[in-house]
């Protein structure tokens, strides 16, 4: 049974002229009348979740179901988004167990990119989010995480510049995890040279301030600053407790196509495994051994790569807490709202709507009904919940009466 859990953030380069030809031609939602002057011109800044990336891909359908589209509809705000053409870029997964993509009957693969939809007139964008963006990217036209979608969405400008083009009255800012996601997924928090593999909190605060200050100075009268996701409470990682379940290890062995061995270091361990470990075992890039401590098998990455011990978990938690402390303080200093998504994630995980242990045999809900077919991005129900959380916070902060998404 195929298992490919890598979440792509970069794609093969495409000809710059081709990008320029379609980058300024977004799809436009029907004109509306804003429910409140505050929402006259709403703009969403962010990365993959904000853009509508689901199930390891993105297309027009997932873009229309993203929480900013739902929020704009309830606001009565015109909503212009950079609609992707055809199958998407890349097309989302349609089946987790086979890894078939939307449009597989038309040859769609993980490397397919059908570019932008040029069907409508050029107008400023209300959703400028780009999958893969970190806090370094929204103020740069060619930041460190730039990829094909950066150019398709932004056409050579930065997210903030594109947002300013729309003269925003209200903004949401969702730079929600990429500054530390790769560190958590790899299980390596520091390079051999001693350099952190995640954005240091002080640098994150500087980057974030530069983004939000420009939006404020451009005339945004209000907004919501969104917290970084506590990645250790998502399906990105799994508790090592699963290693003590022989039946589950047997099922994983069948799925991976190898006999999976559990190292004694996992007995009583509180380590967390990145789901990426399973992918690397299946591909042969990691031995078929699950261990919970460094140097479990000398001379190999077993027990270190794709594994977070308790000390490493504490480092991740500290960084995310510091990110979110700054975001909250920044929102308070502006008089804007702050949205902490983590209580919602804990609730959904506790009631089974986000899986604590992924069901890798499930075609459509391996990570729970509120997640898409990858362990990072919410599905349609997840986006609806985010939109309704935001509506409740906006109404409370600004005294508005936005209706919930039904």
Tokens of 35: 């429910």
Give pLDDT, residue 34.
82
Query: For residues 283, 286, 287 and 291, what is the CA-based torsion angle, rounded to 10 degrees?
Result: -130
CB neighbourhood size of 25 (10 A):
18
Q: Are 355 and 382 in contact (CB under 8 A)?
A: no
Q: Render pLDDT for 132-179 as a digit per residue (tens, 0 to 9).
A: 999 999 999 999 999 999 999 999 999 999 999 999 999 999 999 999
Give pLDDT, residue 32.
57
Q: What are phi and psi of 260, to 5 degrees?
A: -85, 130
Three-state SS at 255 = helix
Question: What contacts 337, CB < 8 A, 6 or more positions away?
Answer: 222, 223, 224, 225, 331, 393, 394, 396, 397, 398
Please state, in angstroms and rounded to a whole number, the distance separating the CA atoms of residues 373 and 96.
6
Q: Are 390 and 224 in contact (CB under 8 A)?
A: yes
Give pLDDT, residue 146.
96
Beta pairing partners, 262 = 290
Packing angle between helix 310-334 and helix 201-217, nearest 10 degrees? 20
Q: Are 73 and 391 in contact (CB under 8 A)?
A: no
Q: Could you give all domains of the chain from N- to C-terminal order, each with its CATH number?
A: 16-235+313-398 (3.40.50.1110), 239-310 (no CATH)
Q: Residues in the chain, how many? A: 406
Reference 160, options 120, 110, 220, 233; nearest CA is 220
Give pLDDT, residue 15.
31
Q: What's the start-to-end Cα distance of the chain, in Å? A: 37
Tokens of 40: 């006259």
Please state, in angstroms and rounded to a whole number, the distance separating the CA atoms of residues 66 and 155.
21
Please state, in angstroms and rounded to a whole number, the distance separating the CA atoms of residues 345 and 353.
9
Tokens of 157: 């400008």
Reference 176, options 233, 122, 231; nearest CA is 231
pTM of the model: 0.91
> Between the CA of residue 28 and those of 13, 70, 126, 248, 306, what are the distances in Å?
27, 14, 10, 48, 42
Give pLDDT, residue 118.
82
Tally of CA atoms within 13 A in the half-sphere of 279 that contains its CB: 17
> Which residues of the chain register pLDDT less than 70?
1-32, 119-122
């Amino acid at each position: 049974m195929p298992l490919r859990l890598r979440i792509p953030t970069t794609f093969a380069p495409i000809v710059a002229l081709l990008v320029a030809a379609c980058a300024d031609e977004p799809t436009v939602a029907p004109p509306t009348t804003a429910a409140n002057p505050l929402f006259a011109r709403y703009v969403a800044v962010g990365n993959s979740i904000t853009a509508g990336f689901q199930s390891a891909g993105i297309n027009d359908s997932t873009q229309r179901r993203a929480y900013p589209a739902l929020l704009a509809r309830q606001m009565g705000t015109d909503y212009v988004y950079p609609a992707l053409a055809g199958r998407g870029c890349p097309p989302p997964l349609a089946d987790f167990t086979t890894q078939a993509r939307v449009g597989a009957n038309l040859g769609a693969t993980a490397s397919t990119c059908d570019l932008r939809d040029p069907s409508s007139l050029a107008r400023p964008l209300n959703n400028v989010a780009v999958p893969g963006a970190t806090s370094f990217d929204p103020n740069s036209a060619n930041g460190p995480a730039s990829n094909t979608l950066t150019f398709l969405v932004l056409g050579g400008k930065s997210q903030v510049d594109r947002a300013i083009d729309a003269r925003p009255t209200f903004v949401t800012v969702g730079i929600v995890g990429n500054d530390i996601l790769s560190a958590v997924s790899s299980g390596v928090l520091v390079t051999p040279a001693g350099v952190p593999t995640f954005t240091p909190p002080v640098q994150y605060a500087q980057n974030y301030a530069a983004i939000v200050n420009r939006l404020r100075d451009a005339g945004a009268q209000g907004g919501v600053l969104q917290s970084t996701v506590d990645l250790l409470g998502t399906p990105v990682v799994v508790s090592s407790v699963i290693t003590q379940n022989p039946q589950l290890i047997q099922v994983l062995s069948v799925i991976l196509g190898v006999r999976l061995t559990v190292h004694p270091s996992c007995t009583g361990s509180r380590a967390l495994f990145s789901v990426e470990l399973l992918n690397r075992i299946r591909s042969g890039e990691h031995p078929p051994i699950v261990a919970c401590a460094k140097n479990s098998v000398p001379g190999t990455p077993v027990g270190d790569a794709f594994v977070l011990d308790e000390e490493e978990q504490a480092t991740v938690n500290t960084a995310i807490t510091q990110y979110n402390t700054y975001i909250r303080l920044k929102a308070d200093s502006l008089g804007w709202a702050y949205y902490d998504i983590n209580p919602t994630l804990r609730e959904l995980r506790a009631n089974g709507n986000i899986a604590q242990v992924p069901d890798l045999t499930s075609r459509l809900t391996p990570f729970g009904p509120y997640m898409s077919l990858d362990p990072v991005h919410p599905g349609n129900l997840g986006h609806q919940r985010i939109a309704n959380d935001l509506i409740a916070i906006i109404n409370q902060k600004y005294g508005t009466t936005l209706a919930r998404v039904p």
